[in-house]
A and B are shown apart, each in its own frame.
Chain A
Amino acid sequence: MSRFNKNGGREMPELNTSSLPDLIFSVLFFFMMVTSMREVTLMVKFDRPAGTQLEKLARKSCTSFIYVGKPTEQYRSQFGEGTRIQINDKYAEVNEIYDFIMSDRAEMPESDKPFYTVSIKADHQTPMGIITDVKQVMRKAYALKMVYSATKRQDNN
């Protein structure tokens, strides 16, 4: 009986945690790599159209984003209900896109410039007139590669 009843006989050996920091550091580095800090706070609400034939965006670092949609709740009283264009952290008019593209592309290393792409993230209810205006400005700025951003739809029809 006494063999089950050892009081204070053996102690649980302490777990060796010396490699824990290394482990966490490697996870940390992974997240540091994949993080892109250029996130903008969205001031427009957009529900992107769904498509079936989408391609993944190859180089996120060479891409500028243009957001098109209606202002979010908090800006609605100030800017109204109409569809607006957002670049970086502010609303913009169509002609401001030209400068935005030029400055964005100028910051890029020379080797990335041929891959410069503009991704249009627009709400599916946006009238085409605005999209067309944006496209015309992009042509003028020689930003000819573009992506119509969309969400994936699962079914195949």
Chain B
Amino acid sequence: MGKKRKMPGLNTSSTADISFMLLIFFLVTTSMDTDAGLSRTLPKPPEEDQLNNEIKVKVRNILNIRINKDNYLMIGNDYVALEDVKPRAKEFIQNPENRPDLPELKEHDCKLLGKRMVTENHVISVQTDRGTSYGVYFQVQDQLVAAYNELRDELSKQEFGVNHYDQLSKEQQEAIREVYPQKISEAEPKQYGKAL
């Protein structure tokens, strides 16, 4: 047939503008803040028939941290400051001198690390009053996690020559977790000093 007609090029100069508008829309709506926090696992809800036979834990295996409505801290029977929580918790978790008032050491066959004495039954329990402020509670939790992290870092340096627990391989992390399992109880609080 006749001459071949050339398709005229589509004018695409406005595509940039359109996509700019979309881009700006998404820029504005995006929230880039990554959420961070302390993660915890709550215990399962109590079953009906289970209410009466609570799990018995030996007294020496519990570290009771109590916070009253005026935000005073108590560990065991002494009033302490927030800075004392971490060293006390570290001592409690580790029980380096095998003291009878700290959690019992049991021989545990750990992966990679062989047989070790571990305070595997220890529990740290934080009890609060209804009037305790959340900020203080959070600081205590943070200090407890810090205690665990420091112990784990120390052990990973000692055993694997790596300064930080996070930098170890999965298997090594597991081994260290067996020595220092994180046991912070999220049990329900008792109301022992009513807020006014």
Question: Which residues of A are at the interface with B, using a C-beta cutoff of 8 A?
Answer: 17-18, 20-21, 24-25, 27-28, 31-32, 34-37, 39, 49, 51-57, 60, 63, 68, 117, 119, 122-129, 131-132, 135-136, 138-140, 142-152, 157
Contact = CB atoms under 8 A, between A and B. Distances in A.
B128 interface: yes
Contact of A21 (B15, B34, B35, B134): B15
Given A17-B16, A53-B142, 11 more contacts: A21-B19, A24-B20, A25-B19, A31-B30, A35-B26, A35-B30, A54-B36, A117-B39, A132-B188, A135-B186, A150-B37
Contact of A142 (B40, B44, B83, B135): B44
A52 B22 CA distance: 38
A136 B43 CA distance: 10
B43 A35 contact: no
Contact of A28 (B19, B135, B189): B19
Contact of B37 (A20, A119, A124): A119
B36 A55 contact: yes
Given A31-B23, A35-B30, A128-B189, A148 B38 contact: yes
Contacts of B52: none
Contacts, number: 155
B141 A128 contact: no
22 contacts: A17-B13, A21-B19, A24-B23, A28-B23, A31-B26, A49-B142, A51-B142, A68-B134, A117-B39, A122-B134, A123-B134, A125-B133, A128-B129, A128-B134, A139-B45, A143-B42, A145-B41, A146-B42, A148-B37, A148-B39, A148-B138, A149-B36
Contacts of A132: 128, 130, 188-189
Contacts of A147: 35, 37-40
Contacts of B98: none
Nearest to B139: A49
A129 B193 CA distance: 12
Interface string B113-138: 00000000000000011111111011
Which of A18, A25, A128, A148 neighbours the largest number of chain B CB atoms within 10 Å of its CB?
A: A128
A128 B137 contact: yes
Please classify the interface of chain B as helix (H, G, I), strand (E, B), loop, or mixed, using the class held by over half of its residues. mixed
B36 to A, nearest CB: 4
B128 to A, nearest CB: 4
Interface string B128-156: 11111111011101100110010000000
Which of B13, B23, B32, B138 neighbours the largest number of chain A CB atoms within 10 Å of its CB?
A: B138
B194 to A, nearest CB: 10
Which of A32, A37, A151 neighbours the largest number of chain B CB atoms within 10 Å of its CB?
A: A32
Contact of B36 (A34, A146, A150): A150
A149 B141 CA distance: 12
B19 A24 contact: yes
Given A60-B35, A124-B134, A53 B146 contact: yes
